[in-house]
Structure 1
């Protein structure tokens, strides 16, 4: 069989892996055009996350907001599926890297995806408000739309917390950033409009939770919704690592989801 196409060149291979994120050559490492030796010791880890994702260093105000959001999501105890399965995996002899991967791989639409979903929702409210629709009406219309395909509203309510203890410090920092001119505040206004709408006629309100609060932060900082989940994964990986490491020191082998003395209910009729 004849092939009239030209043989690939070295340039073709180089272009196949073209990237604007990093440049690595003998004796040279650059991240977004900045030598790594200039970043080490002068730029924080959060600043480097921003640099790699956005192409430039954040302002101090942007960095503080991003750091607050990342800190808020690091851990939520071993009842969180991502933490629980990482601890189980850590007792199976697979190593920390695999235990962390096991935990991270549970972060899907249901566990770990609410921030991304909430950012989509708040973005719809914000867009309608910026187009001139009263924000209360925009919030009501968007929530009604979301509820046609899900009984859960992403970013609101919590199965443990009446008021999520991370709400005030996160939204408070966003409000400060609005006052300082760091962010515009449109996502904050959208989130509060949804929260107020949900509270109407209820004796027990449905406050915004950490997923909603971080969605506000990421939206105000200009991150695309899929990155809300990606940033949550980075944050939660810290807690997953800590729990997996702790579990390796407790001496258990093949840890199951329940102590051996407790047996699961057997459903004889199924």
Structure 2
């Protein structure tokens, strides 16, 4: 069967970009009109959404992206990238190794939190109070998992990124930049969770929860909350992989060579 030129062109039809000899357009905007005029965060918005954000929308998105760039070698994605960088692969491969670690358990909580907050908002719109909606959705999520996405942190008693991010959202709500429903949903979950735990250690919102609020308030669907986190964390992955290439190690493993893994007791062996 012969494929026509038009069929081949339609196979790759896209609204994201249009490329011809001597011409590059992003969402129908010539690249020469964007270079030097539009920031990188605005380009992310443009390619994903088809238009340019307002300055306040851009600033809010940038704050979320800045907050998620790095969390040190304690993060599996960073550790994996640093190890990969010592194994004779290129910098791009080291970055890909780190990015590929960002799955449901490490990197997916933002997406899951947007889904959860959207469920809370939907129940509220159906007539539930914010508190009742939060408790019902929490019960549903905790029947499936012991972890509530976007809340609590294994390392920080209170995530230092939470307060500045939520303060920016709160101001954006006051100024009419975003509606605030996802912020109220997150605050309702946080309050309901604190009451449920009583005097136990509180489980405040973490970076995934705070950025989920921002992504949802800005209108990004849940899967893009993960995609945007991947873009953000890629910056830290790149920096760590690059630093590791200059330290002269070869085949770096997860433990110093002087430390050997413990022997697994027989009763724990498969």
TM tier, shorter chain?
over 0.9
- Counterpart-to-counterpart distance in 2, 1:14 and 1:177: 43
Correspondence for 1:133:
128
- Counterpart-to-counterpart distance in 2, 1:194 and 1:144: 11
Q: Secondary structure of 1:148's partner? A: helix
Normalized against structure 1, the TM-score is what?
Answer: 0.97
Correspondence for 1:73:
68
- Counterpart-to-counterpart distance in 2, 1:36 and 1:170: 32
Correspondence for 2:251:
254
Q: Secondary structure of 2:25's partner? A: strand
Q: CA RMSD in A?
A: 0.9
Displacement after TM superposition at 1:127 (Å) = 1.1
* Equivalent residue for 2:12, pick from 11, 14, 17: 17
Q: Secondary structure of 1:147's partner? A: helix
Displacement after TM superposition at 1:44 (Å) = 0.4
Correspondence for 2:236:
239
Q: Secondary structure of 2:89's partner? A: coil
Displacement after TM superposition at 1:231 (Å) = 0.3
- Counterpart-to-counterpart distance in 2, 1:84 and 1:239: 11
Correspondence for 1:179:
174
Q: Which runs of 4+ in 1 moved over 2 A?
A: 267-270
Q: Secondary structure of 1:122's partner? A: helix
- Counterpart-to-counterpart distance in 1, 2:55 and 2:265: 61
1:193 aligned to 2:188? yes
- Counterpart-to-counterpart distance in 2, 1:88 and 1:72: 24
Unaligned residue ranges in structure 2 (runs of 5+)? none
1:207 aligned to 2:204? yes
Displacement after TM superposition at 1:205 (Å) = 1.4
1:109 aligned to 2:104? yes
Correspondence for 1:3:
none
Q: Secondary structure of 2:95's partner? A: helix
Normalized against structure 2, the TM-score is what?
Answer: 0.97
Unaligned residue ranges in structure 1 (runs of 5+)? 1-5
